[in-house]
Amino acid sequence: MLPAGSLPQCILAWRDFSRRQVTDTVDRQTRSRMMAGIRGKDTRPELALRRALHRLGFRFRLHAKGLAGRPDILLPRYGAAVFVHGCFWHRHRGCRFATVPASRPDFWKGKFEGNTERDIRNRAALLDLGWRIAVVWECTLKEPAKIAETAAILADWLRTDVNQIEIGTNSR
């Protein structure tokens, strides 16, 4: 047992190290190239939801160019537009995936605010045109069991007259 107030040197060193802001492990150009490679459509969560909906018998259009926000999935028969939002980019409130990078926090704050404001504008524009809106959060599409559950919830919603639904549990 250690005397009160004395910690081994390795623990003190680790405690000091863990408080430091860690710099990026790659140079700025490489990080830029990596971030530019993040796709805006045909993402894994989107593909998973599309497969599940197709299995349930739904047929749909993809990325309708003429509509605000280019919905990921468009179901004209049901008058519904589905957005599959990434928790990081679209700021899923309370989700563990909606982190803020430590580097350049002011830049990221502006970027995220712009994304959420654009989402609100797009949703309002689609509602004005008479479309029903579903937002499915990425965290609900991480596990196969959750994918099937999410698709079932969405399928039930499509058969109702409710204008909007947001499907997403906050991940722990």
Looking at residue 105, its pLDDT comes to: 82
* CA 135/CA 138 separation, integer angstroms: 10
Nearest Cα to Cα of residue 132 among 61, 58, 71: 71
User: 77-96 burial string, b = 16+ CB within 10 Å, else e?
Assistant: ebebbbbbbbbbbbbbeebe
* CA 51/CA 48 separation, integer angstroms: 5
Looking at residue 93, its pLDDT comes to: 87
Query: What is the separation, in whole angstroms, between the first and last Cα of the chain?
Result: 35
Looking at residue 19, its pLDDT comes to: 40
Looking at residue 169, its pLDDT comes to: 63
Domains of the chain: 39-167 (3.40.960.10)
Looking at residue 172, its pLDDT comes to: 37
Instruction: Please write down the long-range contacts of 13-20, taking CB distance under 8 Å and 24 or more positions apart.
Output: none
Looking at residue 40, its pLDDT comes to: 66
Nearest Cα to Cα of residue 136 among 66, 172, 101, 84: 84
Looking at residue 71, its pLDDT comes to: 93
Q: What is the pLDDT along the chain (172 residues), one digit of tens a residue?
A: 445 555 445 444 444 443 444 456 778 787 677 766 666 677 888 999 999 999 999 999 998 888 988 999 999 999 999 999 988 888 888 888 888 888 888 888 898 899 999 999 999 999 999 999 999 999 999 888 899 999 999 999 999 999 999 998 654 3
Looking at residue 24, its pLDDT comes to: 62
Q: Which residues contact 17 (CB under 8 A, 6 or more apart)?
A: none
Q: Rounded to 5 degrees, what are φ and ψ at 83?
A: -110, 130
